[in-house]
Amino acid sequence: MSGCSSSASHPAAAPSSAPGTPSTSPSIDATCLQGDPDAAKHVTHFEGGNGHNVEAYTIGTGPIGVVLAHQVDATLCQWSSIWTDFPANDYTVMAITMGGGIDTDVAKAVEQLRARGHQKIVLIGASMGGSAVLAAAGEVTPAVQGVVSLSGPTAYGPADAVSAVKTFQVPVAFFAGDEDSRFATDAQRMYDATAEKDKTLHILKNDRDHGVDLWPQVKNEVFAFIAKHVQ
């Protein structure tokens, strides 16, 4: 699994036609959903950062909303083996494909979930997506209930995660493998910089897994974190 560089950028896709307004387009870009006869029922599109047309896949009927943000050079499909864990725990999950304005893409996904009636929302991001959800958590008003970073770097493109955590008051959990050294160092740095007192850092010992590959080891902790903060 590729890591993320704090100085890298990700190209924006074509703009959508109606800013902030979701649409159920017949065109589905996510390869993991093509050929799925039910996919169109769960896919929406809305304008995100830098004019990017965000594609979102949403499943579940639970009252709590969860946004999933992927790693670099990936799409919402990166979560396809994971996203069913959330409806099973009574959450509604929205996995998104991000473009150039990754923090704005996440913030807009929060707007979409709130428009659906989800008042309590948690953000989860892997690597680049970790930077995105941390930066977005510093922008979203009212605040989300929690944010989880899996191997997130201190910054990626426009998403300045370390600056965001210095000011936001959002419960946060950082995870990284100790042998994924650069990202473990970034997790420690962000944990130390976080103003919020309700914060958790778990550096997994003898572990080189990165981003979504950490999920099997940290899943139970993440669900415990979510349950604690959405009561």
The pLDDT tens digits for 88-126 are 999 999 999 999 899 999 999 999 999 999 999 999 999
Residue type, 96: I
Work out whether the CA dihedral 133, 18, 60, 114 comes out positive or negative: positive
pLDDT of residue 7: 33
Per-residue confidence band for 151, with pLDDT thresholds at 50, 70 and 90: very high
Cα–Cα nearest to 156, from 53, 66, 69, 72? 72
Q: Which domain holds residue 152?
A: 54-229
CA 90 – CA 165 distance, rounded (Å): 28
The average pLDDT across 34-56 equals: 94
Q: What is the DSSP letter of 84?
A: G
pLDDT of residue 173: 98
Is 25 within a domain? no
pLDDT of residue 103: 97
Per-residue confidence band for 4, with pLDDT thresholds at 50, 70 and 90: low
Is 19 within a domain? no
Q: Do residues 59 and 43 make contact, with C-beta atoms less than 8 angstroms apart? A: no
Average pLDDT of every residue of the chain:
91
Is 192 within a domain? yes
The total number of structural domains in the chain stands at 1
Of residues 22 and 157, the one with the higher pLDDT is 157
For the stretch 59-72, pLDDT in tens is: 999 999 999 999 99
Per-residue confidence band for 156, with pLDDT thresholds at 50, 70 and 90: very high
Is 40 within a domain? no
Is 84 within a domain? yes
User: Which residues are 141's β-sheet partners?
Assistant: none
Residue 25 has pLDDT above 60, yes or no: no
Is 7 within a domain? no
Residue 5 has pLDDT above 60, yes or no: no
91-97 and 53-59 as β-strands: parallel, antiparallel, unpaired?
antiparallel
Cα–Cα nearest to 122, from 20, 131, 195, 113? 113
Give me the CATH number covering residue 224: 3.40.50.1820
142 cis-preceded (ω within 30 degrees of 0) = yes
Is 34 within a domain? no
